Amino acid sequence: MKHYQILIIGGGTAGITIAAQLKRKKSSLQIGIIEPSEKHYYQPAWTLVGAGAFDFKETERNEGDYIPEGVDWIKDKASSIDPDKNEVVTATSGTYTYDFLVPVPGLVMAPELLPGLKESLDKGVVCSNYTNPEHTWEVLQNFKGGNAVFTQPTTPIKCGGAPQKIMYMAEDYFRKQGIREKTNVLYATPGTVIFGVPEFAKTLNKIIHDRGIIFKPFYAPVAIDAEKQEITFRYSKPGESNCTIMEGNPLGEELVGALDIKVHFDMLHLAPPQMAPQFIQDSKISIQEGPGKGWVDVDIHTMQHKRYPNIFSIGDVAHLPTAKTGAAIRKQAPVLVENLITLIEAGTVGKKSYEGYSSCPIVTGYGKMLLCEFKYDNVKDSDPLISTFVDTTKEQYSMWLLKKYGLPFMYWNLMLRGKA
């Protein structure tokens, strides 16, 4: 049985960033990373890949090139965690023990949670930037008009703004192709508003109004029929016992029962339902009951586990009331690293606190972007450097350049090297 001082589960954005920062601060630490994948992807660029504005190959690198020097790469999959015995069992290489555990495996796609999605995803006119952005680009290029439907599930997802980013890009593309007037662009979300932070919601509401995009809040997707090209939504407004179709009904919506609405689609883009990996859900480190069930139970400021003090977690798998984005990880990682090192050296957890910062760079067309930055409780929170030069509540070309060139450069060269 191999033992590590610090065992990290997951070699994605969070795992590599944490390992690199730990090694920079204290090179003597013995660290192992459990990660089965040979490839590492820069997923934020997949929105641009789906719109034909970024090459997919540029988003892929070899995982081995980013495992920090002096860190053991355990090329395997974690299959269970026993926090009482300080043990992690892997699929093929046996059991590992640890002094400190950092489970950051990210989340997994769960298309099976939406009836009809598993069979239809990434085939025909059903696409998702989350699973195959190159297919999205094919669907866009083949689209000739009709209903272009963009939606997202009721589960938490990576970057809640992502499903609307590709919608703005697609709408801009249809204009460029001269087919916009024979197209209905629908953005349907189970949420209550276009965006949770009022300052950014105001800008986005104006954009969808000016560009004639149909916005339907309280629309939760419940089934997909790929053959008939129909998606069924359930109207989920609290207290509503029935739903009415809008006048004129440009989408050809059809009411089924009191609360279900069927919509024909000529193109459907959606974020699949997403969840914590099964081994996390099955472990005692996850929340056992209630709204956060299945996600890792950490203090929202210190990143330390609430019940097991030698466990810390951040990123998509942690139960934190903020957006699951790489930008959030960039602010969470230094807090975890500082607090963990202080615990190792002084026996008490450090005082560094995470205030919920996350950002959602929303591309609103080719050459335009809105940098939505916020913290806990949906409070606008701007990067002091960027906000001195740019009004981030408006669409900016400079922010598009940041998204396309600046952020990928920062990711590969600074963040994953533990320097940002």
Give DSSP secondary structure letters for 104-161. Answer: ----EE-GGGSTTHHHHTTBTTEE-TTT-HHHHHHHHHH--SEEEEEE--SS--BSTT
Q: What are phi and psi of 255, to 5 degrees?
A: -80, 130
Helix (H/G/I), strand (E/B), else coil: 61: strand
Q: Convert the pLDDT of each residue in 214-236 to its tens digit.
A: 999 999 999 999 999 999 999 99
Helices (H), 229-354: 278-281, 326-346
Exactly one of 127, 243, 360, 372 is catalytic; name it.
360
CATH class of 112-273: alpha beta
CA–CA distance, 13 with 316 (Å, rounded to integer): 10
**3-state per-residue secondary structure call for 199-255:** HHHHHHHHHHHHCCCEEECCEEEEEEECCCCEEEEEECCCCCCCCCCCCCCCCCCEE
Neighbours of 259 (CB within 10 A): 18
Q: Is the confidence at residue 401, as pLDDT, over 80? A: yes
The confidence score (pLDDT) of residue 388 equals 81
For the question of residue 360 being annotated catalytic, the response is yes
Q: Convert the pLDDT of each residue in 262-305 to its tens digit.
A: 999 999 999 999 999 999 999 999 999 998 999 999 999 999 99
Report the pLDDT averaged over residues 67-80.
98
Exactly one of 127, 159, 243, 372 is catalytic; name it.
159
Residue 7: which pLDDT band, with cuts at 50, 70 and 90?
Answer: very high
> Structural domain boundaries of the chain?
2-107+276-354, 112-273
Question: Under CATH, which number does the domain 2-107+276-354 receive?
Answer: 3.50.50.60
Tell me how far CA of residue 146 lies from CA of 209, 268, 368, in angstroms.
Answer: 19, 11, 25
Whole-model pTM? 0.96
Report the pLDDT averaged over residues 29-48.
98
Q: Convert the pLDDT of each residue in 33-42 to its tens digit.
A: 999 999 999 9
Q: Name the residue type at position 116.
A: G
Q: Give the percent of the chain with pLDDT over 90.
A: 92
Instruction: Give the residue among 103, 107, 101, 131 at the shortest CA–CA distance from 117.
Output: 131
Q: Convert the pLDDT of each residue in 134-180 to its tens digit.
A: 999 999 999 999 999 999 999 999 998 999 999 999 999 999 999 99
Residue 239: which pLDDT band, with cuts at 50, 70 and 90?
Answer: confident
Residue 246: which pLDDT band, with cuts at 50, 70 and 90?
Answer: low
